[in-house]
Amino acid sequence: MNASKHQLGCLIIHGFTSHSSSLEAVIPGLDKRRIPWHYPILAGHGTGPKDLERATWEMWQKDAEDGLNYLLGTSDRAVIVALSMGTLLALELAEKYPDRVAGLVLLSPCLRFYLKLVKFTPILTRVLKRFPNPSAAKFSSLEYAKRDKGYLWFPTLAFRHYWIRTQHFDSVLENVHQPVRIIHSKNDKVADPSGAQHIYHHLPSKHKELIWLEKSGHEVLLDSEADTVLRYIFEFEIFAESAQPQRVAL
């Protein structure tokens, strides 16, 4: 590892029940631009869905924050690329570290849920221990759904921790002033598009964008418009301004 610090690094944060493959498409672009990156796996992920039973929002917060601090060991500032639930963790980090988080790219931010049953989460937690997580709901077609390596079900208790956090999130949004680019599909059947609009309208940042996709499902980097999404990511102003002397993968 190069002893000199880099001006900018990239923290990658996946979503609830996601597999690391959901955001791996970003890595070649970071390597090409010689931007150091770090991609932590959140508690309860990367193994089996049963391990999510013990996971809490505080554990995911710690994983994300530890990942940021690790990256900042070799970079002065970080841009965060996050998916779904990971976008909320990214926004929390931006609020807590305004001088170290340079900007955010939020993919399919899941602040509001497409499935209306979700509003009964406190009740469902008491009567159901697990809930199905079908790939077909996350993609624009069954062909693209074959790319899904995420969990096929999840413990309702773990989801409850996530759902509770979404209920009172405006206080975070109102304190994020960094540049933010939101990329969301109008066809998303997991994260309701109104959530992306809510985030956009409540951010005080003077440099914010909401970019709509027309065809993709929730997993935008594994779906039909992945190349377009990658272009939008690396056209983000923070990436455009960066120029690193060499690649450092953490």
Kindly report the CATH number assigned to the domain that includes residue 34. 3.40.50.1820
Please state, for a pLDDT cut of 70, what percent of the chain lies above it.
95
Place of tokens 């009740």: 123
Assess whether pLDDT exceeds 50 at residue 2. Answer: no
Quote the CA–CA distance of 113 and 189 in Å, as a whole number. Answer: 8
The whole-number pLDDT of residue 146 equals 95
Is position 87 within any domain?
yes
**Least confident stretch, 67-81, 123-137, 225-239:** 123-137
In 3-state terms the chain splits into helix, strand, coil percentages (rounded to 5) of 40, 20, 40
Assess whether pLDDT exceeds 60 at residue 243. Answer: no
**Average pLDDT, integer, range 40-55:** 96
The whole-number pLDDT of residue 128 equals 87
Q: Which tops the pLDDT comparison, 250 or 173?
A: 173
Is position 150 within any domain?
yes
Is position 10 within any domain?
yes
The whole-number pLDDT of residue 72 equals 97
Assess whether pLDDT exceeds 90 at residue 141. Answer: yes
Is position 20 within any domain?
yes
Q: Which residues contact 187 (CB under 8 A, 6 or more apart)?
A: 140, 213, 214, 215, 216, 217
CA atoms within 13 A on the CB side of 132: 4
Assess whether pLDDT exceeds 60 at residue 244. Answer: no
pTM of the model: 0.94
**Least confident stretch, 10-24, 55-69, 118-132, 198-212:** 118-132
CA angle 221, 119, 135 (to 5 degrees): 30
Is position 212 within any domain?
yes
In whole numbers, what is the pLDDT of the chain averaged over residues?
A: 93
Is position 247 within any domain?
no
Q: Which domain holds residue 231?
A: 6-241
pLDDT band at 250 (very low <50, low <70, confident <90, very high): low
Quote the CA–CA distance of 85 and 195 in Å, as a whole number. Answer: 12
pLDDT band at 248 (very low <50, low <70, confident <90, very high): very low
The whole-number pLDDT of residue 125 equals 86
Is position 174 within any domain?
yes
Please tell me the total count of domains within the chain. Answer: 1
Is position 250 within any domain?
no
The whole-number pLDDT of residue 123 equals 87
Quote the CA–CA distance of 23 and 21 in Å, as a whole number. Answer: 5
pLDDT in tens, 145-189: 999 999 999 999 999 999 999 999 999 999 999 999 999 999 999
